[in-house]
Amino acid sequence: MTVAATVTALQTLHATITGVSSAPTVMPASLNNAELPVCLTFPGEGGWKHNSMDGAMLQQRRRYVVKVYVAPIPLGQGLDEGYQLSLPMLQAFGEKYMGVTTLSGAIAHLGTLESGLLATDLGVGIIPFAGIDYHGFTYFVDIIEKTAVP
């Protein structure tokens, strides 16, 4: 599976989470308030290695950064409204990741082998996008994929 295909598979998964209004596979220039909460997935740090003694398989380990923008800071009833909306969604994402073992059947392992964690998060906070601050949260999803050497 390519990095682009993995991002698409993750976004397809994210679109099924209760509360997510949009999980686009094309990166938007700005976020439309009518489509919030929006989930965006970015391919992060990764590495490659041969996975078998004969060198016929490659293993790619990559951390995907999942950012969920729930509400812009200037809107709503004070700072607490966006925060409160973010809490159940943070829980919903964690529960969804706990139930996933493969994405489109091509993922060898979801989560890190070292820690056994499927995903980690930074908790609810303020995250910027295109010069605007939003209440939301960030998850890190570590994925290990195996592919044949081209």
User: What integer pLDDT is reported at residue 130 of this predicted model?
Assistant: 94
Tokens of 124: 């609810």
Q: pLDDT tens across 2-31, in order? A: 888 889 989 999 999 999 999 999 999 999
For residue 120, the cross-strand partners are 140
Report the C-alpha gap between 76 and 86 in whole angstroms. 13
Inter-residue contact 63 to 47 (CB < 8 Å): no
Q: pLDDT tens across 23-62, in order? A: 999 999 999 999 999 999 999 998 887 766 666 667 778 8
Inter-residue contact 41 to 68 (CB < 8 Å): no
Write down the architecture of domain 3-25+35-148 according to CATH.
Answer: 2-Layer Sandwich (3.30)
Report the C-alpha gap between 108 and 94 in whole angstroms. 20
Domain ranges for the chain = 3-25+35-148
Residue reference for tokens 């529960």: 95
